[in-house]
Chain A
């Protein structure tokens, strides 16, 4: 090919680069800077992109090609440049986010022969990842490994954090990293000049550019994120309870059990913490006799986790209590970026209905009210919309008044209802442990279905009850092969979390009962497979 290029000094091919970004991240501006830098050197350059629908939160790419020789030496000829990033033909691949780096790898853009891969390791979650009932996030562990494995050189770090620490945009930081990588035919100064010439937010962009450049050259670090603010809570003397737990529980379970005690005492009173500890102790005993030492006491950990969470169910009292804490206001200030000296007014959206009212009444009254409410669906829709301004005196007083109902809580309808179910669940976990460790573990994790508030909560609880009564409890006692039941429970739990409307759950439950039913003759013998 060399022979075809007249003049031995002319480069054999163009430099190629692709930027994978998400709409609204400034990928177009980044491409413009690079083009301007190449133009300032009088290099033939071409960039192209696909805006349009991809721009609205979708993935989009910018493709840039530069011929690293000035027009003056080309004698009127001009290189023919491509309009697409071409697999196997890329010098630099940039991804503004980790999953987009994965997409670049998938497309074959990154090769160890030529490609420098520059990617920020932060995540912007896609809609599928965000909207799962549970944890739908894409597993990125493989991604970093693949990036390192496929690229000639991989520069991977959290450029978003570096941008935030410098109070600038990520595209400027990325340009700095590109400049610092020395993988392009353009010197860093030319990029810097391109930012200056563009004339938009020059000082912030230069700050970002220098941060990125400095990081790659090893002159700068990413500042640590500020430490999390204290969560807050009542001041309580936990020492006696914590010491006891420290003695009784294995190391693996310490963290969850201690946190459980703190949470339950903070939620109600030391006696409530004691009650948690008794439950946790029952799990530990069952765990030990089922050989939990070999399983890292997973059963104790998971069952105690969900016991603590269930015991501290979010009623309006708890929500008011949490929202009225001073530590929370400090967190809000940081979250919304309010500066020192800027007054802040926080508005809460509370909307209690008959169900919430019933939940704080004595059991008999509450039950009566719920029965009355259920008689007419329209009654479910009656709500008292409360917009509470927490930083105002009256608003704060309202929250405090609600939070003060804490002392009344153990005598309420909802408390009685929750505890009836908690007790049944503890029994089931205990019973299951005698049959199969995995089955007990699966039942222990079941309360994770009881999530959310209002309608979401109602559906979650209904799902929990269907699974518990239909599958978990029978399996814990006698029915079927426990290993099958454990697998089926896991499957059903996943289905319930996949689709809040319960359609996936219906199918999974039907499949599970069919399977367990076939596999389990009435004798409960473990012979069936």
Chain B
């Protein structure tokens, strides 16, 4: 299935993109995040990356569906 992923802050930096559409066989948000960590070498563990689907923060067992916008948000410290 295809999902649209947006990256923020350090994830965007490490991915080198702010958004992309990708096809995935991930079932849950957890699967997708782990897959992206492995593929792009994100330095944050999955426990520190929050996922929002279609504008709402979801838990890691959330089941993603075709065409959804998935936003990945790390904590940010700067001030």
A and B interact physically = no
